[in-house]
C-alpha cells in the first residue's frame, strides 16, 4: 500500500462513525446599514499608515506624476498593459513588465504603478489577481514603493462580497497596508520585505 492509500485508509477508519455534522452559515455577507464605501475604505487604508488620496479620473495622470515626484522616483516598473497616458507626467526611467524582467533587475527599481482587481472597504484591503493593469506578482513585491490605483466600482463592503468576486484560478495577492511586523515586543513596524510605502489612489 502506498502512502496515499495508507493515509486515506487511516482517515476512513477514523471517521466511520463521525456522522453528518450540519454546516450553519448565519454570518453576514454584506455590511449592515448603507455606509459610504469610499469613505470607509479610505479611513481603513489610512489606519494601516498607507498614503491614500481620492481623485477624479481626469486628474489621474497628474496625481501619479505628483506622487512619483514627491517620493523622488527615478526608475519605475509597470505592467505590460499599463496605459502610457498614466505616465505622461513622469520622467522616471520606465521598465515594462515582461517574462525577461527578473527579481534582480527589479532590485534597482524605485517604484511600481499598478491597477487592482477588487478592494474591501471594511478591512482596507486591495486584491490583485494578475489581470488587467496588474502584471506579474514580483513587480509589486521587489520595489520599495507601490502606487496602486483603485477604481470606486471595484470597492465592495465586506470580505464575503470580495471572495465571491474573485477567480481562484488566478494568483491572488491581498494587500492591507504596507508590509509590517509585530515580532519585536509586539510593536508594529511598517516595512520589512514588501514595499515599505504603499500609496493608494482611489479614482472616482
- Interaction with other proteins in 93-152: which residues (CB under 8 A)? 99, 103-104, 107, 120, 122-125, 130, 136-138, 141
Does residue number 13 form part of the binding site for other proteins (CB under 8 A)? yes
* Using rule CB under 8 A, residue 163 touches other proteins: yes
Q: What is the largest CA-CA distance in the chain?
A: 68
Q: Does 189 bind other proteins (CB under 8 A)?
A: yes
Q: Where in 51-90 is the site for other proteins (CB under 8 A)? A: none
Angle, CA of 41, 46 and 51, to the nearest 5°: 110
Residues in CB range of 163: below 8 A, 6 or more apart: none
- Using CB under 8 A as the binding rule, whether residue 8 contacts other proteins is answered as yes
Nearer to other proteins, 63 or 146 (CB): 146
Q: Of the ranges 55-63, 66-74, 149-157, 167-175, which one interacts with other proteins (CB under 8 A)?
A: 167-175
Terminal Cα distance for the chain, rounded: 61
Distance CA 92, CA 146 (A): 15
Binding flag, residue 168, other proteins (CB under 8 A): yes
Q: Name which position in 18, 58, 85, 153 contacts other proteins (CB under 8 A).
A: 18
In the complex with other proteins, the residue whose CB is nearer, 52 or 64, is 52
Quick check: 22 binds other proteins (CB under 8 A)? yes
Judged by CB under 8 A, does residue 25 bind other proteins? yes
| Distance of alpha carbon 176 from alpha carbon 51, whole angstroms | 12
Among 177, 110, 118, CA closest to 139:
110
Amino acid at each position: 500500500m502506498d502512502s496515499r492509500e495508507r493515509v486515506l485508509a487511516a482517515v476512513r477508519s477514523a471517521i466511520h462513525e463521525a456522522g453528518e455534522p450540519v454546516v450553519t452559515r448565519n454570518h453576514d455577507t454584506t455590511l449592515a446599514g448603507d455606509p459610504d464605501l469610499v469613505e470607509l475604505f479610505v479611513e481603513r487604508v489610512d489606519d494601516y499608515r498607507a498614503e491614500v488620496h481620492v481623485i477624479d479620473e481626469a486628474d489621474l495622470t497628474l496625481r501619479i506624476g505628483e506622487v512619483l515626484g514627491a517620493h523622488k522616483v527615478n526608475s519605475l516598473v509597470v505592467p505590460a498593459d499599463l496605459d502610457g497616458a498614466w505616465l505622461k507626467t513622469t520622467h522616471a526611467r520606465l521598465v515594462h513588465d515582461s517574462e525577461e524582467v527578473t527579481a534582480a533587475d527589479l532590485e534597482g527599481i524605485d517604484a511600481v504603478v499598478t491597477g487592482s482587481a477588487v478592494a474591501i472597504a471594511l478591512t482596507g484591503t486591495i486584491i490583485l489577481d494578475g489581470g488587467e493593469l496588474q502584471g506579474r506578482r514580483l513587480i509589486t513585491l521587489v520595489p520599495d514603493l507601490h502606487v496602486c490605483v483603485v477604481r470606486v466600482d471595484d470597492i465592495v463592503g465586506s470580505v464575503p462580497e470580495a471572495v465571491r468576486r474573485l477567480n481562484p484560478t488566478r494568483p491572488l495577492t491581498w494587500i492591507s497596508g504596507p508590509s509590517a511586523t509585530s515580532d519585536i515586543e509586539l510593536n508594529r513596524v511598517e516595512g520589512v520585505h514588501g514595499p515599505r510605502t504603499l500609496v493608494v489612489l482611489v479614482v472616482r
